[in-house]
Chain A
Amino acid sequence: GESVGLHLPTLSVQEGDNSIINCAYSNSASDYFIWYKQESGKGPQFIIDIRSNMDKRQGQRVTVLLNKTVKHLSLQIAATQPGDSAVYFCAENTNPMDSSYKLIFGSGTRLLVRP
C-alpha cells in the first residue's frame, strides 16, 4: 500500500556536523515530497519540498535529494545547530490525480544535537 517510512528513528549528531535524515517511500506515482520539522508541543513547520521532476533542491542550510530509482528521499542539514533538534517528517502526495493533495506522513526521525 501507500506508505512513507524512515530508516532511522533517532539520529544524534555533534553540533557543527552535517546531518542526513533518510526516508523511503513506496508509491512510485508520488509526484511531490515535503520535509517538515516538528518541535515538542508545536505543529509541523515546513522545511523544504521537491517535485518528482527534480532530484535535488537546496534551501538555507538544507538540501533535499530525491532518488526515484530506489524511491528514496533524504534531508541534509549543514552545520547542525542545537535549534535543529526536533522530529523530522517526510511526507508525500501519493496520487497526483487526487485533487485533495492530502499528505501521507512517515513516522518521523528524532534529531538530537550534542553540544
Chain B
Amino acid sequence: DTGVSQNPRHKITKRGQNVTFRCDPISEHNRLYWYRQTLGQGPEFLTYFQNEAQLEKSRLLSDRFSAERPKGSFSTLEIQRTEQGDSAMYLCASSLNPGQTSSYEQYFGPGTRLTVT
C-alpha cells in the first residue's frame, strides 16, 4: 500500500492522559499536514511540515499539542493532558512541494479517531 497510513486507527483514553499518533506519508512527499475533524464538520488545519521543518501552527494547536517529523519521513502528533474537547478525528495528509507540481492535491490518511472519556 503506497498511500498515507496512520496509527492507531482508534484511541480511547481517559482525561488527563497523554496520547501519541503516528503518520506515514507517501514516500516521495516532502509536505505533511495535520488536520482535526469533528463530527459533521470539515477538517481544520493544525500544522504542517516541509521535510523535517515545522513551518506553521494553527491557533487550534494549544501548548498541549506537539508535532514532530524528525527525519522528514513519518510524523507524530502528541497530545498531553487530554481533555474531552480533544475528542475528534485526527487526519494526516501529504503532498509534493507545490513548486514541484501543478496540483496542490493533498492525499489523506484514514485518520485516528480519539475519544477522551
Contacts and interface: CB of A to CB of B under 8 A. Distances in A.
A34 B45 CA distance: 15
B48 A43 contact: no
Contacts of B103: 49
Interface residues of A, number: 24
A43 B109 contact: yes
Contact of A32 (B4, B104, B109): B104
B40 A46 contact: no
Interface string A71-115: 000000000000000000101010000011111111110000000
A45 interface: yes
B41 A46 contact: no
B107 interface: yes
A45 B106 CA distance: 9
Interface residues of B, number: 25
Given A101-B98, A102-B56, A49 B107 contact: no
A61 interface: no
Contact of A34 (B44, B105, B109): B105
Question: Nearest 6 CB-CB pairs, A to B?
Answer: A105-B42, A43-B108, A102-B45, A44-B108, A43-B110, A100-B56
Given A43-B91, A103-B45, 17 more contacts: A42-B110, A43-B108, A43-B111, A44-B43, A46-B107, A49-B105, A91-B42, A93-B104, A100-B48, A101-B31, A102-B56, A103-B104, A103-B106, A105-B42, A105-B43, A107-B41, A108-B40
Interface of B: 4, 31, 33, 40-45, 48, 55-56, 91, 93, 95, 98, 103-111
